[in-house]
Amino acid sequence: MSKFYITTPIYYVNDKPHIGHTYTTVAADAMARYHRMIGDTTFFATGTDEHGAKIAKKAKTEGKEPAKYADEIAAQFQMAWDEMNISNDGFLRTTDKAHKKAVQNALQYMYDKGDIVKDKYEGLYCVGCEQFKNEKDLIDGKCPDHQTVPEKMSEETYVFKMSKYADKLLKMIESDELKIRPQARKNEIVSFYKEGLKDVSFSRKNVKWGIQLPWDKSHTAYVWSDAFLNYLTILGWDGSGGILPPPYEGGGARRAEGVEMFPPDIQLMSKDILRVHATIWPAMLLSLDLPVQKNMFVHGFFLIDGQKMSKSIGNVISPADLVKRYGVDATRYLLMSPTTFGRDGDVGYEKFDEKFNADLANGLGNLVARSITLVEKMQNVNIRMKNDNSKTDAWGKEEFYHKVDVSWSGYKDFIEVLEIDKALQQALVQIKFLDNYITSAKPWELIKDNDERVGVVMYNVLERIRHTALMLWPFMPETTEEIMRRLGLDPNTEKTKDFEELIEWGGLKPGTEVKKGESLFPRLEN
């Protein structure tokens, strides 16, 4: 058993949750649920990023005080995650009092150490990104992500001397001590470091909506410095615990007290915010004498029918829209399965509908219904395992059992490296296999003839449905638990079992009473 700490970005409260945010959050949730299932001590963190110029500006256009506006949108995120059955262990809002205090403590530590110094800073600032931009990041003078011309800024500011950590970080990234995946994203970051890492402005004089610097109250903290520390404060870190007093030499990496889960084992995000996560964030950790994150996984962007989701195009889909049409578990499945995790992917209602009908209505739902109906018709034979332990099916074939082990090892290999869509594919393969098995074993004929072998056939089918449902457990928790109940199993008992025990052949009790129940995924017509 090991520890597993996973984070999502904390989302800006300038807008309500859409399926882009939902994508990251559901993926993190599935990973957290998988790690809990295999017995790891797991912490799953998410939250909202509420300070800075971007939020202040948005609140103003809404005619609201930033604090009140942030309260409203943060509540919408929390409700959306509740509705999506997200199992986060904490929800950090950067306006939280304890977080603000910890940020002040941490920045004071970096200032006392000489890593933050007063300077004059000039640059092009994109408020949408809340980041300074290099000329070469711009296309026709505009930020490609926001289609806006960045502001020229020149002001007195406190600067984080992160360049001093550049060599060390580059080595850590190259050697995968700080792992960035997919590989193409790592390569991008390595070249970015090789161009030379610049220091970064860490405070704003004219942005009032932020955390005041403890040593100079006329400045507020740069919103990213505030935001990154959420990954620590959500664990209860107070910015001082475990950190030794000056002169800071020779300490190396030390754990802060009370935050054994740190550092993150996986930080999930999309490419828009990788660069800051691969530079400023680990440099802050080195400055704080803390260990850096272990692994960052960068998934692709969701495009809607080929276009970037945006308010101006009017193609923004909210998680609630999908839940209304497909239900919670199907929405989770539809978000995770259609595109390669790590690459941009195109989605849209037409594709979602097709996938819903193919994989869930005609696939999983139909298989469960069809199998249980057959068992209900078996009045004279009980479902039973072949009792000679030969691991062959009713016709002496071994393949049936062997293939389950192979699928599990494929599933585990994929999910461990976040090839989420491929892990799900393993479950789909089971469904197709079982459909074909039923078609060729023709249990309805065996039933008619009162042939005893049907007991073994149907045991094999139901037991393999149990395995399929287990593979889907992190993705569709309610559906899996409903399938367990229909198979006569108690989900609460199943939860207490060791993973190795769960995935052994034979978890289903022979002679079990099954229940048909309503259609799991009624087919969408139209």
Residues annotated as part of the active site? 18, 21, 126, 129, 143, 146, 308, 311
Backbone angles phi, psi at 374, to 5 degrees: -60, -45
Residue with smaller CB distance to ligand MSP, 272 or 353: 272
Residue with smaller CB distance to ligand MSP, 341 or 411: 341
Residue 17: cis peptide before it, omega within 30 degrees of 0:
no
Residue with smaller CB distance to ligand MSP, 2 or 307: 307
Give me the amino acid identity at 6.
I
| One residue of 261, 309, 404, 483 binding ligand MSP per CB under 6 A | 309
In the complex, least distance from residue 232 CB atom to ligand MSP, rounded to whole angstroms: 11
Residue with smaller CB distance to ligand MSP, 220 or 230: 230
Residue 228 makes contact with ligand MSP by CB under 6 A: yes
Please enumerate, as own/partner, the contacts of 236-240 that have beta carbons within 8 Å and a separation of 24 or more. Answer: 237/102, 237/262, 238/98, 238/101, 238/102, 238/105, 239/101, 239/102, 239/103, 239/104, 239/105, 239/106, 239/108, 239/109, 240/102, 240/105, 240/109
Angle at 137 between CA 134 and CA 142, to 5 degrees: 100
Angle at 119 between CA 243 and CA 166, to 5 degrees: 55
- Region class of 30: left (phi > 0), else alpha (psi between -120 and 50), else beta: alpha
In the complex, least distance from residue 388 CB atom to ligand MSP, rounded to whole angstroms: 52
**Which residues, 485 to 504, sit near ligand MSP by CB under 6 A?**
none
Residue with smaller CB distance to ligand MSP, 284 or 483: 284
Range 484-521 burial, b when 16+ CB lie within 10 A, else e = bebbebeeeebeeeebeebbebebbeeebebeeeeebb
| One residue of 5, 11, 237, 459 binding ligand MSP per CB under 6 A | 11
Residue with smaller CB distance to ligand MSP, 145 or 478: 145
In the complex, least distance from residue 128 CB atom to ligand MSP, rounded to whole angstroms: 9
In the complex, least distance from residue 281 CB atom to ligand MSP, rounded to whole angstroms: 7
* Separation between Cα atoms, residue 350 and residue 353, nearest integer Å: 5
| One residue of 77, 109, 209, 302 binding ligand MSP per CB under 6 A | 302
Give me the amino acid identity at 83.
E
Q: Give the per-residue contact string, 254-273, with ligand MSP (x = CB under 6 A; - = no).
A: ---------------xx-xx
Nearest residue to ligand MSP, scored by beta-carbon proximity: 20
Residue 53 makes contact with ligand MSP by CB under 6 A: no
Stretch that binds ligand MSP, among 224-232, 323-331, 389-397, 440-448 (CB under 6 A): 224-232
Classify the C-alpha dihedral 315-318-320-323 as positive or negative: positive
Stretch that binds ligand MSP, among 106-114, 225-233, 379-387, 434-442 (CB under 6 A): 225-233
Residue with smaller CB distance to ligand MSP, 228 or 411: 228
Under a CB-based contact definition with an 8 Å cutoff, are residues 322 and 352 in contact? yes
Q: Give the per-residue contact string, 319-338, with ligand MSP (x = CB under 6 A; - = no).
A: --------------------
CA-only gyration radius of the chain, Å: 26
Range 126-140 burial, b when 16+ CB lie within 10 A, else e = bbbbbbbbeeebeee
Residue written as tokens 């030390």? Answer: 254
| One residue of 162, 227, 334, 520 binding ligand MSP per CB under 6 A | 227
Stretch that binds ligand MSP, among 6-14, 119-127, 258-266, 282-290 (CB under 6 A): 6-14
| One residue of 4, 5, 6, 24 binding ligand MSP per CB under 6 A | 24
Residue with smaller CB distance to ligand MSP, 131 or 407: 131
Residue 151: which residues within 8 A CB-CB, separation 6 or more? 124, 125, 126, 127
Residue 23 makes contact with ligand MSP by CB under 6 A: yes
Classify the C-alpha dihedral 499-500-501-505 as positive or negative: positive
Stretch that binds ligand MSP, among 15-23, 325-333, 410-418, 451-459 (CB under 6 A): 15-23
Closest residue by Cα to residue 259 from 106, 458, 420: 106
Q: Give the per-residue contact string, 398-417, with ligand MSP (x = CB under 6 A; - = no).
A: --------------------
In the complex, least distance from residue 444 CB atom to ligand MSP, rounded to whole angstroms: 46
Stretch that binds ligand MSP, among 5-13, 380-388, 447-455, 480-488 (CB under 6 A): 5-13
Three-state SS across 349-375?
A: HHHHHHHHHHHHHHHHHHHHHHHHHHH
Under a CB-based contact definition with an 8 Å cutoff, are residues 463 and 514 in contact? no
Quickly count: other Cβ atoms within 10 Å of residue 436's Cβ.
10
Stretch that binds ligand MSP, among 10-18, 36-44, 235-243, 252-260 (CB under 6 A): 10-18
Chain centroid offset of residue 401 CA: 32
In the complex, least distance from residue 111 CB atom to ligand MSP, rounded to whole angstroms: 21
3 state DSSP class of 79: helix
| One residue of 4, 5, 6, 10 binding ligand MSP per CB under 6 A | 10
Residue with smaller CB distance to ligand MSP, 103 or 423: 103
Note the residues at the interface with ligand MSP (CB under 6 A).
Answer: 9-12, 20-21, 23-24, 49, 227-228, 230, 269-270, 272-273, 301-302, 309
